[in-house]
Amino acid sequence: MKTHLLIIGSGVAGLTLAVKYAEAFPKKNITIVTKGDEDESNTKYAQGGVAVVLDYKTDSFQKHIEDTLIAGDGLCNKAVVNMVITEGPKRLKELMVWGAQFDVNQTGKLDLGKEGGHSQNRVVHYKDITGYEIERALLARVHQLKNISILAYHFAIDLITEHQLKLVSKNINCFGAYVLHQKTGEILTIQADNTVLASGGIGRLYGHTTNPTIATGDGIAMAYRAKARIKDMEFVQFHPTALCTNREGSAFLISEAVRGFGAYLRTKDGNRFMPNYDVRAELASRDIVSQSIDTELKKTRDSCVYLDCTHLNIEGFKHHFPNIYKTCLDNNIDIGKDWIPVVPASHYVCGGIEVDVDGKTSITNLFACGECSRTGLHGANRLASNSLLEALVYAHSIFEYLCKNLVSVKEQMLPFWDDKGTSIPKEHILIIHNLKKLQTLMRDYVGIVRSDNQLLKATKQLDIIHKEVEELYKTSKVTTTLCELRNMVNVAHLIIGQSLKRKQNKGGFFNVNNI
Ligand code: FAD
Ligand code: SIN
């Protein structure tokens, strides 16, 4: 199969780029492959909103830039921060032209929420389901464009580079990807002039996460195996306030915007502890709030802390956060009377596939966009609601680069997927068992607070899992779960390895041996 532009992933990053490219080049075809339902993504669950400077009376680009740099703890790329923040309003407007709705206030202007680390109200939102609305609007636009094919339930297994062609070259080129049709088991060889990884985050490496099941770091692992540069993987962001329940699986998020609305964090005995850690109290940046909760939980030996909304305007709360209000009620929590039990959960990866300002990776004809990329915007800790913004801005940067560099890549005879000598994996239990082991080791040894000793233990345990999984992969016909596990093992290796190399605590990275 041949396509001009192959996009792996159908979240905000992939869909935005697809729409722009398809509108500008109606004669070129775009193929989006996505491994589940077409809307399943981290994007769909985004709550707080998109951070954009709109109210020039109280806010300014400079203030948003400062807040981003402070949150990033000295490791942001200032030129990138400047570019992303000043582009924000234009990209938001575009999204609205495509049909995305955002809440307005009584004066008819966009309503601006507040989140941790922001000195001003600047978070544009649609209730507390902003991501759902953005995904809806983008998919609706995609469906109107005849030159985009969206292949749901198609799992990208690996990129095709010189390695698969058995060629030796100094410069690595990407020719497309091998893609598993998840319903038939067939493996497609998709040849593309340009390939874009827009495959999202890594939350599932930790059993306890705000991310849906698709977040298994596939794009980062594929790029790593293809020898692209991967950076800053030690900066895994833990969201301070995931709803604490006894259920396994994805944790429901209680948006940071709830603290922006005035909620307090308390220990079980009512102590409002955040003012002891930071003058911004509950609205300190996410790294500080999560680390403070971790400290409190270690002191008290409790399993959660609480968000207290009882002093807030409950009608106003219901209006802004209807989904959170309802989900709490479904869990027998009446936020007008009860405190919400919350605990940090893995949420976002600040690092990823290194890209330049055009979204180019270190591999020719391969781009990365959105959460799987590492642009330099976030440094050591992402400022809340800067992720959707980053994806919108970088989708535009890649689009602009492609407009100026419209070259068709030389035809190549790509080899078909070779699975001779493999059989259907019989030992599914091995996949489940190793996934559990991986998630346990990431939770226990590679969490909010790390140590050299724990990281070395994690390395040893990961080596054992790696051997078993590679053995299984070499002898089995590929399945989605097996590929995902293999990818998660690769990503865990990157997080642990890069954590061991970092000798200074910064932002979301804290190793007790670095004190
Ligand atoms: P995603 O939206 O995750 O999309 C990735 C896509 O790639 C999916 O379609 C997936 O199926 C596909 N994919 C992955 N691997 C493969 C493969 N091997 N083959 C084929 N397809 C594949 N950020 C903000 O800025 N503001 C917020 O308010 C906010 N709230 C959040 C709330 C929650 C609960 C979560 C989880 C995240 C939140 N974030 C927020 C972060 C933000 O939503 C994500 O970082 C952003 O949406 C990522 O977009 P993306 O397009 O890069 O990836
Ligand atoms: C939230 O609503 O708290 C999530 C915001 C984000 O991850 O940027």
CA–CA separation, 392 vs 390, rounded Å? 6
Closest ligand to Cα 38: 1
Q: Does residue 440 come out as left (phi exceeding 0), alpha (psi in the -120 to 50 range) or beta?
A: alpha
Assigned CATH topology for domain 240-346? Flavocytochrome C3; Chain A, domain 1 (3.90.700)
Atom of ligand 1 nearest to the CA of 487: 18
- Of 91, 141, 259, 286, the catalytic one is 286
* Ligand 2 centroid to residue 241 C-alpha, Å: 10
Chain position carrying tokens 């009377």:
337
Alpha carbon distance 257, 158 (integer Å)? 38
**C-alpha of residue 46 to centroid of ligand 2, in Å:** 6
- Kindly write down the DSSP assignment for every residue of 132-150, as one continuous string: HHHHHHHHHHHHH-TTEEE
285 CA distance to ligand 2 middle (Å): 11
Mutation probe of ligand 2 site: the residue of 132, 321, 385, 387 with most atoms within 8 A of C-beta: 385
Q: Which atom number of ligand 1 is nearest to the Cα of residue 36?
A: 11
- Does the Cβ of 156 fall within 6 Å of ligand 1? yes
343/13 Cα distance (integer angstroms):
29
Among 58, 128, 122, 44, CA closest to 85: 122
Give me the pLDDT at residue 513, please.
98
Is 13 close to ligand 1, i.e. is its CB under 6 Å away?
yes
Q: What is the residue extent of each domain of the chain?
A: 2-234+350-404, 240-346, 428-514
Q: Which numbered atom of ligand 1 lies nearest the CA of 212?
A: 36
| pTM score | 0.98
Q: Is 511 in the pocket of ligand 2 (CB under 6 A)?
A: no
pLDDT by residue, tens only, the chain of 515 residues: 999 999 999 999 999 999 999 999 999 999 999 999 999 999 999 999 999 999 999 999 999 999 999 999 999 999 999 999 999 999 999 999 999 999 999 999 999 999 999 999 999 999 999 999 999 999 999 999 999 999 999 999 999 999 999 998 889 999 999 999 999 999 999 999 999 999 999 999 999 999 999 999 999 999 999 999 999 999 999 999 999 998 877 899 999 999 999 999 999 999 999 999 999 999 999 999 999 999 999 999 999 999 999 999 999 999 999 999 999 999 999 999 999 999 999 999 999 999 999 999 999 999 999 999 999 999 999 999 999 999 999 999 999 999 999 877 777 789 999 888 888 877 789 999 999 999 999 999 999 999 999 999 999 999 999 999 999 999 999 999 999 999 999 999 999 999 999 999 999 999 999 99
Q: Is 286 a catalytic residue?
A: yes
Pocket lining: 47 vs ligand 2, CB cutoff 6 Å: yes
Q: Is the CB of 253 under 6 A from ligand 1?
A: yes
- The pLDDT of residue 107 is 95
Closest ligand to 45 CA?
A: 1
- Tell me which of 239, 243, 349 to substitute to probe ligand 2's pocket, judged by most ligand atoms within 8 Å of the beta carbon: 239
- Report the atom number in ligand 1 closest to the C-alpha of 15: 51
Determine the pLDDT at residue 186.
96
Q: How far apart are CA 451 and CA 429, in angstroms?
A: 31
- Residue 32 main-chain phi, psi, to 5 deg: -105, 125
- Which helix (H) or strand (E) segment holds residue 392: the answer is helix 387-404
Q: Is 293 left (phi over 0), alpha (psi -120 to 50) or beta?
A: alpha
Predicted confidence at residue 237, as pLDDT, reads: 98
| 84 CB within 6 A, ligand 2 | no
Is there a common fold for 240-346 and 428-514?
no
Considering every ligand atom shown, identify the ligand nearest to the alpha carbon of residue 155 and give its number. Answer: 1
Q: Is 336 helix (H, G, I), strand (E, B) or coil?
A: coil
The verdict on the CB of residue 383 being under 6 Å from ligand 2 is no
Ligand nearest to the CA of 240: 2
> For a substitution probing ligand 2, which of 42, 43, 236, 255 has the most ligand atoms within 8 Å of its CB?
255
Expressed in angstroms and rounded, the spacing between residue 217 Cα and the centre of ligand 2 is 19
61 sits in which H/E element: helix 61-71
Q: How far is the CA of 9 from the centre of ligand 1 (A)?
A: 9
Pocket test for ligand 1, best of 199, 261, 385 (most atoms within 8 A of CB): 199
Q: Is 48 in the pocket of ligand 2 (CB under 6 A)?
A: yes
Domain covering 428-514 in this structure, CATH number? 1.20.58.100
- At CA 169, angle to CA 163 and CA 175, rounded to 5? 50
* Fold that domain 2-234+350-404 belongs to in CATH: FAD/NAD(P)-binding domain (3.50.50)
